[in-house]
Amino acid sequence: MARELKNGIISNDKDVNDLINVDKIEVCVLENETDIEVCDIQKTNDKLVEEIKRSIPRNEVLDDLSELFKVFGDITRIKIIYAIKDNEMCVCDIAKFLGMSQSAISHQLRVLKKARLVKYRREGKTVYYSLDDEHVNKIFEFGLSHVNEMYY
């Protein structure tokens, strides 16, 4: 819903709180938690910038890291990781836990396996899945802890 602001300017942005005139320059003042604070001056710390440039991993490594985090971008995969973070489970048990078909769970496990987040072992006719290593559990636990900060 559009609303009229000072000086006859109309905005559809419900986050625009006010419009003020400063030396004939119109400035929108935003007041919400998505605002990004920026420096009032343009002075850089060249030493710090160069140090970071020297230490940043190669683009290939950063691409792989980006792909890893994309795998965490699916709630079903997150639930699977949660289910097997402390216990190994067979596909049937994971499917029952999530109320999904074994086929759907197998598809998600393939994605997780390709990303080296889960491993499996076969015992007779049963295949058990678990987290690939402790790093995966740490990534999951740190992420969960970070998100829980918003709720507690």
Instruction: Tell me the residue type at 23.
Output: D
Domain boundaries defined on the chain: 1-33, 60-148
CA-CA-CA-CA torsion sign (37, 151, 78, 32)? negative
Most confident region among 22-26, 94-98, 148-152 by mean pLDDT: 94-98
Mean pLDDT computed over 50-60 = 97
Query: Does the pLDDT value for residue 22 go beyond 60?
Result: no
- Region 92-102: mean pLDDT is 98
Is 122 a residue whose pLDDT tops 90?
yes
Across 62-83, average pLDDT: 97
At residue 36, the pLDDT reads 83
The CATH classification of domain 60-148, taken from the options 3.90.550.10, 1.10.10.10, 1.20.1270.360, 1.25.40.340: 1.10.10.10
- Predicted confidence at residue 69, as pLDDT, reads 96
Quote the pLDDT of residue 123.
96
**C-alpha to C-alpha distance for 51 and 46, rounded to whole angstroms:** 9
Report the C-alpha gap between 46 and 18 in whole angstroms. Answer: 36
User: Residue 23's pLDDT is what?
Assistant: 42
d(C-alpha 141, C-alpha 86), whole Å:
11
pLDDT at 40: 84
Instruction: Average the pLDDT over 53-70 and give the result.
Output: 97
- The pTM for the full model equals 0.72
Task: Give me Rg for the CA atoms of the chain.
Answer: 24
**Nearest one of 67, 66, 62, 71 to 107, comparing CA atoms:** 71
Q: What integer pLDDT is reported at residue 34 of this predicted model?
A: 65
